[in-house]
Amino acid sequence: MTKWLRCLLICALIFGFLPVTAVQAVRGVPGSAEFGYGAWLHPNGEFFDQGLALVQDLALDWVGVEVDWAALAATSDTKIDTAILDRAVSTAASSGTAVMFSLTNPPDWAMTPAGPDPAATAGFVLNLSTRYGDKLCAIELLPGANTTAGWHANPDPAAYANLWLTVRSQLDTAGSSLHLIAGGLRPWSAASAPADWTDLDFLRGLYAAGAKDWMSVLSIQFPQLTGLPLQTTADSGTPLRHYEAVRQVMQENNHQTGQIWVTLFNPPDGTISVTDSRFADRQHQTEWLQQALIQVRSQLYMGVVFAHNLNPAQSNSTLYRYDALVVDRVSVHPFYSVFKAIIRQTNPETGAARPGKPKGTILLKCKYKT
């Protein structure tokens, strides 16, 4: 494994310095019949270089990068150091992988009593869009908006809608085609704060604020799940198929054209139910993830699923759970080879059987600047 990871790392470093001339077909975005597979790369986590190597090797459709706003801009006049983000974007672009930034943790200077300041948020997002141009294809805007942890204030669907529309307006004025992903909604759990909203109630609040007219993609996150992927109910906790309840709310609001992206889901680990304890084992995690991916991909309203961490996240990250695909400097998680096979099977160039949505349709394009 040591030699294998070293070769991948060398390739990633070489490709990261090559000029980018590719045109990226973006799977899973509105208007595309394609399903996209994604994974998370953590710029401030361990084994970042090995994670970059996996971006090259897996031929991912998407790579998600958590952008900790407060860490980058502790004050309003902080000079932002984007060097490590630059490396992530450059490597993704060289491998034909679309990039989604997930904007989290607004700094104190950008907060109001109602939540993150819309103008400050729009300015920061516009700066990212301007810097990376078409290499940056999407931004997930403040995931966990239905929680105090994600919103950094008492959640308010109307306030979130106002912020989203302010950011979109700024991007449109600048001529940016960046996809703005809404919500990152998280189901209620035993760890939820008293002021948190359930994801379904918050979603209804978004529709009351006119979301049908502006929310083309809703993202949902499952920090903790319970049960087998096919289960529809659970005595306690949230089963994976809770996404069907989310879809039902969308249909109740005549939003059949809206997409769902699952930007975070973790196999059960026994925290919620002792019957899930076996999933703490990596091999059982792999089996669970494989079944979950096949199942989720078959839903026509699903656009993209981010299935795993490439490298470990920081312990304070919302994405810090379970092993990453890079376990240490010399070994990888058993799900790595399964995930690579699934991606290859559903790649339209392979000619292999392709379960789920058709893969031969014309795709939207995301042009990379040279």
In the beta sheet, which residues pair with residue 102?
A: 66, 140
Q: What is the pTM of this model?
A: 0.88
Residue 113 pLDDT > 90: yes
Domain edges within the chain: 2-15+33-349
Angle separating helix axes 282-297 and 335-345, nearest 10 degrees:
20
Sequence letter at residue 77:
D
Range of weakest confidence among 90-99, 156-165, 308-317: 308-317
Q: What is the mean pLDDT of residues 97-123?
A: 97
The two three-digit tokens of residue 35, written as one number? 């399903």
What does the pLDDT read at residue 322?
Answer: 63
The two three-digit tokens of residue 244, written as one number? 């069907």
Separation CA 349–CA 218 (nearest Å):
29
* Beta strands 302-309 and 36-41, pairing class: parallel
What does the pLDDT read at residue 178?
Answer: 96
Q: What is the mean pLDDT of residues 302-331?
A: 83
What does the pLDDT read at residue 155?
Answer: 98
The more confident residue out of 335 and 365 is: 335
The two three-digit tokens of residue 89, written as one number? 């974007």
Q: How confident is the model at residue 236 (pLDDT cuts 50, 70, 90)?
A: confident
What does the pLDDT read at residue 33?
Answer: 81
What does the pLDDT read at residue 19?
Answer: 39
3-state secondary structure of 316: coil
Sequence letter at residue 314:
Q
Q: How confident is the model at residue 25 (pLDDT cuts 50, 70, 90)?
A: low
What does the pLDDT read at residue 5?
Answer: 52
Q: What is the rounded average pLDDT for all residues in the chain?
A: 87
Separation CA 6–CA 25 (nearest Å):
29
Q: To which residue do tokens 């950008």 refer?
A: 110
Q: How confident is the model at residue 363 (pLDDT cuts 50, 70, 90)?
A: very low
Architecture in CATH of 2-15+33-349: Alpha-Beta Barrel (3.20)
Q: Choose among 63, 58, 57: nearest CA to 90.
A: 63
What does the pLDDT read at residue 280?
Answer: 87
What does the pLDDT read at residue 316?
Answer: 67
Q: What is the mean pLDDT of residues 146-166?
A: 98
What does the pLDDT read at residue 26?
Answer: 85
Q: Choose among 152, 61, 125, 42: nearest CA to 99.
A: 61
Angle separating helix axes 335-345 and 48-58, nearest 10 degrees:
30
What does the pLDDT read at residue 353?
Answer: 47
Separation CA 353–CA 356 (nearest Å):
10
Q: To which residue do tokens 């860490």 refer?
A: 71
Residue 158 pLDDT > 60: yes
Give backbone dihedrals phi and psi of 211, rounded to 5 degrees, phi first.
-60, -25
Residue 253 pLDDT > 60: yes
Residue 2 pLDDT > 90: no
Render pLDDT for 266-285 as a digit per residue (tens, 0 to 9).
889 888 899 899 998 999 99
